[in-house]
Amino acid sequence: MAMKENLRTLLGAGWLGWQMEANWTDPFLFLVYSVAKPVSGALILVFMYIVILGGVAAQSTAFAYIFLGNAFFIYVGQVLFGVTWVIHEDREHFQTLKLIYISPISFYYYIIGRAGSKILIATIAVVVTLLFGVFALGIPVDAFTMDWGLLILCLTVGMACLVSIGIALAGITFLTAKHSGGINEGIAGLFYVFCGVVFPITQLPAWGQSLGYAIPVTYWLEAMRKALLPAQQLQGTGLQGIENIWLVALLAVSALFFYFLSILIFRLGDYLARRAGKIDMTTAY
Amino acid sequence: MKEYLLLNLRALKGRAYPRVVGGTRELSWIFFDTVLPLLTVAAYVFVYKYLGTFEGPQQEYIAQFIGYVILGGAMTAYWMNVLWSMAAQFYWEKEIGNLQLYMIAPMSRMAVLGGMALGGMFYTSVRAISTIVIGVLIFGVTFSLGPPIYLVLVFILTLIALYGMGMLFASLYMIYGREAWHMSSLLTEPIYLVSGFYFPVRYLGSIVALSASIIPITLGLDALRQLMFTETAGIHGFLPVEVELVALAVLSVLFLFLARHSLRFMENLGRKTGRLTMRWQ
Amino acid sequence: MNYAVETKDLTRIFRVKKRRRRRSGSKGAEQDVTALKDVNLRIEEGELFGLLGPNGAGKTTLIKILCTLLLPTSGKAYVAGNDVEKDPYPIRRIINMVSGGETSGYGLLTTRENLWMFSQFYGIPSKEAKKRIDEMLEAFGIWDKRNAKVRTLSTGERQKANVIRGFMTDPSIIFLDEPTLGLDVNASRIIRKFISDWVRETSGRTVLLTTHYMMEADELCDRLAIIDEGGIVACDTPRNLKRTVSKASSLMFEVDYLRDPDKLKGIEGIQNFTYKHNGQMNRTLLTFIVQDESAVADIVSRIVDQGAKIHSLEKREPTLEDVFVSLVGKGLA
Ligand SMILES: Nc1ncnc2c1ncn2[C@@H]1O[C@H](COP(=O)(O)OP(=O)(O)OP(=O)(O)O)[C@@H](O)[C@H]1O
Ligand SMILES: [Mg+2]
């Protein structure tokens, strides 16, 4: 019974999220969010690369490593940002947070539902960026040699993991004001530095490498690269020895861990927010 | 006349005040606004370090590139502030009901925006300076500074032109609410790219670099880099610093002038259509 | 001499674009809402003028136009002789506006800081501003909230702060759009008293007030306009307005049993007279409809002449609500 209700909340929120994002059919907004922003972000790295090494053909394995890591990282930013943004937006702009909050639906499922639509939209940006990399920059991703099984499996588990982390952050967001942007920007930034996104974690000092090995995103990105370019693996990344099966297992275990952690933090954040009366606050200056 | 000036100075001070205390009142802000932006900067620094392990035409200048990234990262703080807390601010103000109270008051609208700009510059400078200081401490950048008077001039003119541009945007956002939000969003990564926040802008080619120069940060950042890393200024700089200085001065005047007129125009348009006070659009 | 507010055939039409229906693809049709239609109004300097009208009548629209926030579609509006369209700045120097339920300022600042900030937009020297603010905080009974962040204030406290924000700049004309919306009896009384004292304290101060509380309008306003569907349907003093419904008021006396009540007939100024005996209580109930109250003295002396005692006198006048209902056809709150 409760399950059915939660499912309904989830689907309803997914629908609501999609309605809110439905202006995606607007060509201008599609260009902004699914093309201009992600491709420019990738091009910054491409130009850094070209400036230092003279062209993208030089050290092409390293180039593919950087480009793919950056492309899939869009998911991390979008999902973390998306989940916390739901809270921020509902609270400050629409001022409906309190309305949803006092309605009897499970807020937890509401957020997951809203996150679903964000994942869909992030997927468009990732695909556009990848297509740009393949066709404009010659990254040798090939639909026939790709490891589709690994791709789909890791994508699913990876998303579950990211949403869990996002919800943990949402719990913290309950307590903060202007910084809801800051928190996910910060966590995403941490992941960007420590998870071997645009450079191998072997570049980091020893403590930074240890941190990198502790975050599931590191393995997730490695798995995505392996799925897309099974034949072309960069040496000296600190992860090249790990078998695919272990990558998946590590991901699954950490996803489960973050799932329970997120429930804990979310409940705590929710409780503290109510105690501090921050459910319906607004804060501009 | 004197009275009008005094009124506007007071209005400026009044509007700058919440910005300044807003920053000091919630101290968690310092953590979020100084440590977090450093992360992106750090990632790019490591990218340069990594690329430096390969043989390449710029291999010997990796240290300078790291410095460029840190400087660029510091300037992103101002750009974000202009986009979200200047340009989009009138939209938030409308939503929370302050805009109409500003509009019925007798001060010049430029004074309100000026106050917002000054307050914004103040707290953004904390973020920018700390990015530079921490970046220098962690990554060990060494500067070779040019004439300080130039440095100061470039910095001030960049900020004036930049916030002038912010005021111009603000007038647009006053009327065009939510659409403006998407504009700010659009002007993030693409501008980081074309204004050369993370690599010298000359490598984009002169046509792109010149077009991007309409954004004051492009030339300002290039000039700052040339003045802080004089040894490589000749290799990585886009235009001579003097030229960039003049261009920044021109941009300052241009944007302030445009902002003033656009504000008037948009205010009238808003009064005509009723969008000045309409919320939740 | 200029009127504080004067409008000539003031009309405001809103062009509303209908939302494009999803998928239907057809461009939304434009639809016009006439919020004000040929409004002619003159408010004298020193008046406390009220605007009454049902929801959506155009009250707020009128105030926005006078506050230079909105332009007329046609017609003219003058505030202290300045055209709202052409000379907004001289107007802005001498006006202020408070609306009920508004939020203003920044949640992060304290009450006092927020008020100070707004005072700076009117160029009031800081010292002077702080003095005025402190005095008014005290007068409104929120002195203890002076250092509280505004986002922690209750609705009523916030509204008091808004009223202070409006009055602290010492405007010559103030526009109050439902200033007591959502306030408790005590708070509204404080605000009402402040408003009427303020107007009378110094000559030349003018208030334009909208409200949905009939009692408030009756008690406060020198003159009232009743506005409906964008047009003024009546404009006069509350007293005169009430007379239009029924020119007379009714007086009810409860007196000792009168043997000959018919003797009371024929007093000058009496429109109608009825009586009823209450044998059980040994009383008589007399009801007079009088043209004006000067008749009261006569009535009383005739009753006393008959040797009867007056136990109670009740006068029932038509209320503003009666006026409102008769003009607008529907009651308010
Ligand atoms: N910006 C706008 N765009 C379109 N229509 C508007 C706008 N502002 C007001 N209206 C319409 O104009 C009419 C008058 O509105 P107004 O706010 O002046 O009413 P009011 O008398 O203040 O009502 P209330 O007592 O509910 O405050 C209403 O029908 C309203 O829907
Ligand atoms: Mg109204």
Asked if the Cβ–Cβ distance from B200 to A93 is below 8 Å, we say no
Q: Which of C242, C265, C284 is the last residue of a domain?
A: C242
A3 contact B CB<8A: no
Ligand 1 contact via C53 beta carbon (within 6 Å): yes
Residue A281 lies in a domain: no
Residue C111 lies in a domain: no
Residue C62 lies in a domain: yes
Supply angle C-alpha C108, A100, B93, rounded to 5: 35
Both C45 and C100 in one domain: the answer is yes
Ligand 1 contact via C26 beta carbon (within 6 Å): no
Q: What is the pLDDT of residue C25?
A: 41
Domain enclosing residue A229, as ranges: 2-276
C332 has a pLDDT exceeding 60? no
Nearest to B22 among A51, A93, A285 (CB): A285
Both C174 and C313 in one domain: the answer is no
Distance separating the N- and C-terminal Cα atoms of chain B: 39
Residue C119 lies in a domain: no
Q: Nearest CA to C154 among A277, A106, A85?
A: A277
Instruction: For ligand 2, an ion, list residues with CB under 5 A.
Output: C 60
Asked if the Cβ–Cβ distance from B199 to A49 is below 8 Å, we say no
Give the total number of structural domains in chain C. Answer: 2
Mean pLDDT of C177-200: 91
* Sign, CA torsion A203/A206/A210/A211: negative
Least confident of B241-245, B255-259, C195-199, C298-302: C298-302
Nearest-Å Rg of the Cα atoms of chain A is: 20
CA C242 to CA C245: how far, in whole Å? 6
Question: Three-class SS of residue A112?
Answer: helix
Both C159 and C308 in one domain: the answer is no
Question: Over its length of 285 residues, how does chain A's per-residue pLDDT go in tens digits?
Answer: 466 777 777 777 777 766 666 555 677 777 888 888 999 999 999 999 999 998 888 888 899 999 999 999 999 988 888 877 776 666 655 555 555 555 555 666 777 777 787 888 889 899 999 999 999 998 888 888 888 999 999 998 888 888 888 877 776 766 665 544 567 777 888 999 999 999 999 999 999 999 998 888 999 999 999 999 887 777 878 787 788 888 888 888 888 888 888 778 767 776 776 676 655 555 444
| Residue identifier of the C-alpha nearest atom 31 of ligand 1 | C56
C112 has a pLDDT exceeding 90? yes
Q: Which of C14, C17, C66, C97 to mutate to test the pocket of ligand 1 (most atoms within 8 A of CB)?
A: C14
Spatial neighbors of C255 by CB under 8 A, at least 6 apart, are C283, C284, C286, C303, C308, C309, C310, C311
Asked if the Cβ–Cβ distance from C107 to A22 is below 8 Å, we say no
Both C189 and C57 in one domain: the answer is yes
CA B182 to CA B176: how far, in whole Å? 11
Q: Which amino acid is at C320?
A: L
Question: Residue C85's domain is classified under what CATH number?
Answer: 3.40.50.300
- Under DSSP, the state recorded for C125 is -
Asked if the Cβ–Cβ distance from A284 to C109 is below 8 Å, we say no
Residues of C in contact with B274 (CB under 8 A): 14, 70
Both C290 and C275 in one domain: the answer is yes
**How close is the nearest chain A Cα to the Cα of C117, in Å?**
12
Residue A285 lies in a domain: no
Strand C223-228 to strand C231-236: parallel, antiparallel, or no bridges (unpaired)?
Answer: antiparallel
Calculate what percentage of chain C has a pLDDT beyond 70: 93
CA B106 to CA B125: how far, in whole Å? 30
Atom of ligand 1 nearest to the CA of C61: 18
B–C interface: beta-carbon pairs under 8 A: 95
Question: Three-class SS of residue C178?
Answer: coil
Ligand nearest to the CA of C18: 1
Residues of C in contact with A22 (CB under 8 A): 22
Most confident of A236-245, B197-206, C278-287: B197-206
Question: Contact at 8 Å (CB) between B174 and B91?
Answer: yes
Residue C131 lies in a domain: no
The Å distance, Cα C174 to ligand 1 centre, comes to 20
Instruction: Measure CA B224 to chain center.
Output: 14
Domain enclosing residue C60, as ranges: 3-104+153-242
Ligand nearest to the CA of B270: 1
pLDDT band (50, 70, 90) for residue C21: very low
Q: What is the pLDDT of residue B27?
A: 65
Residue of chain A with shortest Cα separation from C109: A285
Q: What is the pLDDT of residue A39?
A: 94
Q: What is the pLDDT of residue B136?
A: 87
Residues of B in contact with C120 (CB under 8 A): 10-11, 13-15, 17
Strand C30-43 to strand C173-177: parallel, antiparallel, or no bridges (unpaired)?
Answer: unpaired
Least confident of B176-180, C123-127, C174-178: B176-180
Both C166 and C300 in one domain: the answer is no
Residue of chain A with shortest Cα separation from B96: A284
Q: What is the pLDDT of residue A96?
A: 57
CA A161 to CA A256: how far, in whole Å? 7
- Under DSSP, the state recorded for C30 is E
Asked if the Cβ–Cβ distance from B96 to C93 is below 8 Å, we say no
C159 has a pLDDT exceeding 60? yes
Regarding predicted confidence, which is higher, A110 or C297?
A: C297
Question: Three-class SS of residue B23?
Answer: helix
C28 has a pLDDT exceeding 60? no
| Residue identifier of the C-alpha nearest atom 11 of ligand 1 | C35
Atom of ligand 1 nearest to the CA of C36: 14
For chain A positions 156-215, those within 8 Å of chain B (CB to CB) are 176-179, 182-183, 185-186, 189-190, 192-193, 197-200, 203-204
Both C234 and C262 in one domain: the answer is no
The Å distance, Cα C232 to ligand 1 centre, comes to 15
For chain B positions 169-228, those within 8 Å of chain A (CB to CB) are 182, 185-186, 188-190, 192-193, 197-200, 203-204
Ligand 1 contact via B234 beta carbon (within 6 Å): no
Mean pLDDT of C41-47: 94
Residue of chain C with shortest Cα separation from A26: C22
| Residue identifier of the C-alpha nearest atom 17 of ligand 1 | C60
Residue of chain C with shortest Cα separation from A276: C152
Has the ipTM of the complex gone over 0.95? no
Residues of A in contact with B238 (CB under 8 A): none
Report residue C319 as tokens: 């209320």
- Give the burial class of C128: count Cβ atoms within 10 A of its Cβ; 0-12 exposed, 13-18 middle, 19 or more buried: exposed
The Å distance, Cα C59 to ligand 2 centre, comes to 6
Q: What is the pLDDT of residue B181?
A: 77
Question: Residue C261's domain is classified under what CATH number?
Answer: 3.30.70.260
Q: Which amino acid is at C23?
A: R
Both C177 and C92 in one domain: the answer is yes
For chain A positions 52-91, those within 8 Å of chain C (CB to CB) are none
Residue C112 lies in a domain: no
Query: Would you say how long chain B is, in residues?
Result: 281
**How close is the nearest chain C Cα to the Cα of A264, in Å?**
29
Element (H, E) at C263: none
Question: Contact at 8 Å (CB) between B54 and A50?
Answer: no
Q: What is the pLDDT of residue A67?
A: 95
Query: Would you say how long chain A is, in residues?
Result: 285
Residue A242 lies in a domain: yes
Asked if the Cβ–Cβ distance from B104 to C97 is below 8 Å, we say yes
Q: What is the pLDDT of residues B61-106, one digit of tens each?
A: 999 999 999 999 999 999 989 988 888 888 888 888 899 999 999 9
HSE, side-chain direction, 13 A CA sphere, residue B130: 18
Residue of chain C with shortest Cα separation from A178: C108
* Sign, CA torsion B157/B159/B160/B166: positive
Residue C298: CB atoms within 10 Å: 15
| Residue identifier of the C-alpha nearest atom 5 of ligand 1 | C14
Residues of C in contact with B112 (CB under 8 A): 121
Report residue C123 as tokens: 């160029």
B240 has a pLDDT exceeding 70? yes
Computed over every residue of chain C, the mean pLDDT equals 86
Q: What is the pLDDT of residue C23?
A: 42
Q: What is the pLDDT of residue B26?
A: 65
Q: What is the pLDDT of residue A195?
A: 93
Least confident of A199-213, A222-236, C71-85, C226-240: A222-236
Both C238 and C259 in one domain: the answer is no
pLDDT band (50, 70, 90) for residue C247: low
Regarding predicted confidence, which is higher, C178 or A24?
A: C178
Residue A282 lies in a domain: no
Q: Which amino acid is at A131?
A: L
Both C81 and C212 in one domain: the answer is yes
Calculate what percentage of chain B has a pLDDT beyond 70: 95
Q: What is the pLDDT of residue B190?
A: 94
Residue C330 lies in a domain: no
Asked if the Cβ–Cβ distance from B14 to C116 is below 8 Å, we say yes
Least confident of A82-96, B47-61, C240-254: A82-96
Computed over every residue of chain B, the mean pLDDT equals 89
The Å distance, Cα C70 to ligand 1 centre, comes to 12
Asked if the Cβ–Cβ distance from A282 to C109 is below 8 Å, we say no
| Residue identifier of the C-alpha nearest atom 30 of ligand 1 | C56
Residue C20 lies in a domain: yes
Q: What is the pLDDT of residue C1?
A: 63
Ligand 1 contact via C69 beta carbon (within 6 Å): no
Q: What is the pLDDT of residues B242-275, one digit of tens each?
A: 999 999 999 999 999 999 999 999 999 989 888 8
Q: What is the pLDDT of residue A285?
A: 47
Q: What is the pLDDT of residue C329?
A: 65
C106 has a pLDDT exceeding 90? no
Ligand nearest to the CA of C54: 1
Residues of A in contact with B181 (CB under 8 A): none
CA B95 to CA B281: how far, in whole Å? 9
**How close is the nearest chain C Cα to the Cα of B25, in Å?**
8
Q: Which amino acid is at C264?
A: L
Both C62 and C164 in one domain: the answer is yes
DSSP string covering A91-145, please?
Answer: IIIS--HHHHHHSSS-HHHHHHHHHHHHHHHHHHHHHHHHHHHHHHH-----TTT
Residues of A in contact with B59 (CB under 8 A): 52
Both C162 and C295 in one domain: the answer is no
